[in-house]
Structure 1
Amino acid sequence: MADWLVVVGVSMAVMATVGLIRQAAWHGHSLVLFVLPVAGLHQVQENWEAYGRLALLRVAGLVITLAGLGLMYVDYRENAAIPPVSGQVVSGAADITSSPFVRSSEAALLMARGEGHPLTGRLHGTDLKNSQVTLVNGVLTVHQGDGVLPELSVSLLLNWPTASIRERRTLLVSPWEEGGPEIHLSWTPAGQQYPETRIIRNGYRLDLALAPRDPGGFNGTIQLVLPDQTNSYLVGDFTARTNHLRYRDGDVDAGFDHPDTLAWVSEQYLQTQFPAGVLQNVEVENVILRRAAGEGRVEVRLTRSDGGRERRQLGLEKTPVGWAVTPGSMTAGRQPTAEPPPPPKPPAPPGPDTSVPLTDLLVLAPLTGSELTVRESGGRERTGVLTRVASDRLWLRLALGAGSAEIAVDGTLIDSLSSNDGRRWQVAATAAATLPPEVPHGDPAEPHTPYQVLLGRLVRVTTGDGKTQEGRLQAVEGGRITLTVPVGAGTVEYFHALSDIVSMEAVR
């Protein structure tokens, strides 16, 4: 806005000055008087009709210019007085927003004083006291407060699963670097119930180290300086827990309202209900917490040292000393239901006798819809679902990629067939040689067939059942034609008896 005011004001002043000079030249007056802002005032007063409007326009331009310069000065003072704050960065932005405090000697002195001491710091203008640290789901959180929602907290989205940290791991981030973990600074303003959160993606300084301590936590040290207005920082050594339990003087706070508290109380109770060494593992499967009613329920799976497993349900209630198992509330939980036995396979459809050679393909008709494996005389095998049967051929539906395709298998090429239930049929030579009576045997080239001229071309075949198919004509022999049809990345061969063909024409 300030920039536009300056541009408009200067433009108006220049245009008015040019107009005054032209009017002075027309009336034969001195031009120098109108170049200087005030020198031509007397001349304007004596010749107001000639110079008045242009003089007012120049004054207005000068006023607008001065107003724009004043706004620019105010913006500059405000930006210089307030350190830049790193918030949510607009997608695609690459600006690094930091503050003088991050790189100041004051921050360096605070880091040096706190190194090697218990964790301390200042978050949003409040000194950190009795803080606790957790590492859950890859998020390292330092929080302060007894409520479910902490009064102060800072969370580092490290994306470090606890199971993956098997040795000391470090992380260094400089204020001018990008790609560091996102940081969430949260605080609860006075008089409000819910916290506010500021997201910081860059401009901060971080020196972090974590090392496994025991199955329930990690030892760590941190130096963190944030570029917020209140000069927040953290420095010192800490112990990070891998759950949401709260601790008081080193002991678990049983009065903290959280599902992890109910799970811990239930595990401690079960250890007292079995002889020492009997329980090998206690796995909490489900926790229901009704905070308003002061009650809850926990379902666990127990593994005994003898290998036995069982489920138990426990009811819990909130007491003056914290959460506790309600006496007599432990019951047997839902036991794993046995998987139902698989339904019996339907009996195979009756088919031809496998003890004698197969002389007629039509006897396979009862097996339509069953899966067959066809072995040709050349050794090639095809497995598919039998869809149709004729006296001289059969049709199989084959799975191709995500779809399927139906192919015809000439009976003269079939050597044997087998089903998925173990039955097998040997095709007799009489069945393999069966051809429609109206198609005579002859030379494979069959020069008298008019389809010979279409060999190698893309054709459209129409059969007696009204179906059409396009493909490349590969062969005309043995009383049939062979078409190759592209399917996926390959091709599929189709066979049609000459007696079934009504017409064949070239596509192009």
Structure 2
Amino acid sequence: MDALLILSGLLLMLFGLVWLIMLAFGSSLFWGLGSLFPPLTLVYVVRHWRIARKAVVLSALGTIPLVVGFVLLAGNDPARFEAIASLRWLTPAPIKPNELAMELHGQLNGEPFAPQQGELIDGVLSLREGQEFFAQRAVNIHLPPMPNGSVHLNVLPTDAQPLPEVEISWLLPEHDLPEARRLNHGYTLYLDLQPLAPNKMTGDFHLVLPAQFNTTLSGKIELFTNRLRYIDGKVDAHFDSRDTLSYVLEDYLQRRYASRAVRLGKLPAVSFPASSLEVEVEALVNGQPQSLTLLLSKTEALGWVVQGDQYARFAEPAVASPAPAPSVSSATTTPPVRSTVDRRLRFSLERLQRTPEQYSNLLIRVTTAHGSTAQGRFVGVNANGRIVIRREISGPGEASYILRPDEISQIELLEP
């Protein structure tokens, strides 16, 4: 009803304005052309009030349903009214920076290929250009299982099958569905990808298909390994994905049952975008099956949350810091202290300096500004504010690295 009143008011005002211009042209060509400019329109109304008053009254009548419609809208949907009144819809949406560092060059099906999205999930490497449901251009490679976190693959045209299946697809302007081509031999593929915390892989990518496919790609790529997104080391609960919902639900169940021993089952299919979802959840809690129906809602401040969640968060256990080890000693290595909290998600050099006791005796890797790498167990921060890392050496004893924070270019926590 409110939208209908607003629309009718705007139409009355528009008809009144058009009628006023027609009346001005009826008076003279000069007044007709002048009425197209607002200042001269007012002059015409004043000078020819007897003629123009009918159109002015019609426009004035349009303000009545317009005001009533806005009043009803403010009462029924304050958020929508605020969005209209604030004129935010006039401001163009900011262009989001690319989440992935792609330096890929070449062409796909004879056209330049600049992917904005990349994933390596469930053994499928996917590169996509375009934000729509069907990608403008895309490459999908079904990779074999890899023994560890890194991916290294070198395929030549003469290699015997079975080989990874490569699929390329492109969407023509006049078509609704993309065209696709698949091949499982006769191509060149080189992959050298390394894990990048918290949920990415990065490295070299080189793909050359047979000449008839007109596809050659080479450069560095960055891929997500799941559909979680992170901001400052924390999971972004605003991102729409089933992985985000799984993370939110698992965190909720752990706090609800006061136990970390929660294994969430596969979630049912959900549709995005959405502001609320009802989800049937199957989970094992302390080895016992649990079946729940939970309602999730998405808020601007917190992202996806479980409605009615009032359970306290787990406190991270503090770990006592051992005495700093000497540069070379024969002391027995203290076994690493294990924590049930995965501290890799929020790890940074600043956090390490602020709360060193939380990372005591955990395995870390440091890269210096000169390109050197030091890996060992974190001992602590000495009196001079330097990072002390203990490394076992062959034979009796151990060695320590003592590094200034300003000479550290990258630091990684390798254990949870």
Q: If the TM-score is normalised by the length of the shorter chain, which range does it land in? A: 0.3 to 0.5
Normalising by structure 1, what TM-score?
A: 0.33
Higher relative contact order (CA 8 A, sep 6+): 2
Q: Which structure dedicates a bigger proportion of its chain to strand?
A: 1
Q: Which has the higher helix share?
A: 2
TM (norm. structure 2) is 0.39
Which has the greater radius of gyration?
1
